[in-house]
């Protein structure tokens, strides 16, 4: 009754737990896919616009380097240089700076505004590096637009001899990213962010101006972003302490990383409500099953446990945990009969610890018991088949029964056992080898004659004494004519 009740209760609980666990995995998988799709949408929008910005910058560089363009009147020149790029949404300024950082051409004004930007990071990058290419800089507060937050896209202008001639700057207002991310639905605690690959935050939703320009390169979340081009993981935000599922992608053509993160609390909200309801119902049913079963079966369970313990004690050696000699007799009789019936090979190993009496006298009986236990473990670990068995024969002697095992197989298993015992490196000053070792005698018999199993044991015992007589710590295969 106890078993039936517990099995039913546990089966019901296990099924519900499995369903809930799978449902939880599905919720996480759906959240990952949603985050990936949102990141892909934002990535495509950003890359498309930045590609247009990059082409506009290159057109200005090419135009500035073209004497014919620069020779025409200013209003014609500006049309050739900027086309309609200056009127694009979220563009702050398009400027051409000379080698000293002064504004020489201003897309927004016929007469260039006054300003020097030689101190800006993007200017210094192009001044020092002719091969910087398209440079996406750090967020900054615009001096020309009352501190409006922007990020610079810039290219170097070089003279015909390769020397530095200035910079073309295109400022992208951060409102572009703010509006883009605000349109993405990520739950009440979700987050989406764009950052440079050096860890500088460009935009984050929920929006907080204090976060703009903050460097998070030492955060555990950011370190994940640099391991692969894209991926997902769970972590706790260094900015607001919320645990989220992060999906990130390093943009292939820009030095930017986009991150979409959905809070675990939002991902599992519906699942948690469903799980609590199901768990409550299952708890009542499981408790009822188990309680009823326990009431009817407590005495039976105690009796079965006692009988099981007695049966185990009667069949095993209390020190080593291997079969005892009585059980060995049953196993030998059973396997011998099977071998005769099937006319199959029957192998047996006789294992004896070398100079064990000296070890006991030197280190004491407790150490001797520990050594016996360790040796028994080595024997057990090197017989893998269910039909193989090992038993303590008496004292420091063990017998291993190996049905359907060839002479080569028996010798291999014996060698593995011998090596494992030797590798224990248990100190034994009374041994010629300096540590505990074992000698093993092996016998293999094919029951083609009507002979007793004791003949195999005697043959293995003779092989064992031969191993001891010729140096110990070795395996000796019987050469008796048993077959």
For residue 166, count other CB atoms closer than 10 A to its CB.
Answer: 25
Each residue's pLDDT tens digit, 99-132: 999 999 988 788 888 999 999 999 999 999 999 9
Q: What confidence tier does 316 reach under pLDDT thresholds 50, 70, 90?
A: confident
Query: Residue 378 — very low, low, confident or very high, per pLDDT cuts 50/70/90?
Result: very high
> Tell me: the pLDDT tens digits for 251-269?
998 999 999 998 888 888 8
What pLDDT does residue 312 have? 67
**Do the Cβ atoms of 362 and 429 come closer than 8 Å?**
yes
Domains and CATH numbers, the chain: 65-173 (3.30.450.20), 325-477 (3.30.70.270)
Instruction: Tell me whether strands 164-173 and 91-98 are parallel, antiparallel or unpaired.
Output: antiparallel
What are the phi and psi torsion angles at 425 (to 5°)?
A: 55, 45
C-alpha–C-alpha distance, residues 316 and 380, integer Å: 13
Strand 191-196 vs strand 256-263: parallel, antiparallel, or unpaired?
Answer: antiparallel
Report whether the peptide linkage leading into residue 187 is cis, meaning its omega lies within 30 degrees of zero: no
Adjacent-strand bridge partners of 401: 348, 389
**What pLDDT sits at residue 85?**
56
The yes-or-no verdict on residue 483 having pLDDT over 70 is no
Residue 407 near residue 348, CB atoms below 8 Å: no
């Amino acid at each position: 009754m106890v078993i039936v009740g517990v099995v039913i209760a546990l089966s019901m609980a296990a099924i519900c737990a499995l369903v809930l666990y799978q449902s939880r995995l599905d919720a996480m998988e759906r959240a990952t896919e949603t985050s990936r799709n949102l990141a892909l949408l934002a990535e495509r929008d950003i890359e498309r616009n930045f590609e247009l910005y990059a082409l506009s910058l290159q057109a200005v560089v090419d135009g500035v380097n073209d004497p014919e363009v620069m020779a025409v009147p200013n209003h014609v020149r500006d049309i050739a240089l900027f086309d309609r790029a200056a009127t694009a949404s979220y563009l702050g300024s398009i400027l051409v700076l000379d080698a000293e950082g002064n504004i020489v051409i201003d897309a927004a004004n016929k007469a260039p505004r006054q300003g020097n930007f030689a101190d800006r990071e993007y200017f210094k990058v192009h001044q020092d590096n002719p091969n910087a290419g398209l440079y996406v800089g750090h967020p900054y507060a615009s001096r020309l637009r009352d501190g409006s937050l922007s990020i610079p896209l810039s290219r170097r202008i070089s003279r015909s001899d390769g020397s530095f001639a200035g910079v073309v700057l295109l400022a992208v207002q951060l409102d572009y990213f703010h509006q883009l991310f605000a349109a993405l639905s990520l739950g009440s605690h979700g987050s989406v962010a764009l950052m440079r690959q050096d860890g500088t935050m460009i935009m984050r939703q929920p929006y907080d101006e204090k976060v703009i320009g903050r460097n998070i390169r030492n955060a555990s979340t950011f370190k994940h972003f640099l391991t692969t081009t894209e991926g997902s993981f769970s972590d706790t935000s260094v900015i607001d302490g919320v645990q989220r599922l992060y999906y990130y992608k390093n943009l292939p053509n820009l030095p930017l990383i986009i991150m979409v993160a959905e809070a675990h609390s939002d991902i599992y909200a519906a699942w948690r409500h469903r799980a609590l309801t199901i768990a409550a119902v299952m708890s009542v049913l499981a408790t009822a099953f188990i309680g009823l079963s326990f009431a009817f079966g407590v005495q039976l369970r105690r009796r079965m446990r006692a009988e099981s313990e007695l049966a185990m004690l009667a069949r095993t050696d209390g020190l080593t945990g291997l079969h005892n000699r009585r059980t060995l007799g049953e196993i030998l009789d059973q396997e011998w009969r099977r071998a005769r019936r099937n006319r199959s090979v029957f192998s047996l190993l006789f294992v004896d610890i070398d100079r064990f009496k000296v070890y006991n006298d030197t280190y004491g009986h407790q150490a001797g018991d520990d050594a016996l236990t360790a040796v028994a473990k080595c024997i057990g670990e090197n017989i893998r088949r269910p039909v193989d068995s090992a038993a303590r024969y008496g004292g420091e002697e063990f017998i291993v029964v190996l049905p359907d095992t060839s002479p080569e197989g028996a010798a291999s298993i014996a060698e593995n056992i011998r090596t494992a015992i030797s590798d224990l490196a248990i100190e034994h000053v009374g041994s010629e080898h300096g540590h505990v070792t074992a000698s093993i005698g092996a016998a293999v018999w094919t029951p083609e004659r009507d002979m007793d199993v004791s003949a195999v044991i005697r043959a293995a015992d003779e092989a064992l004494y031969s191993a001891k007589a010729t140096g110990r710590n070795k395996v000796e295969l019987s050469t008796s004519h048993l077959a």
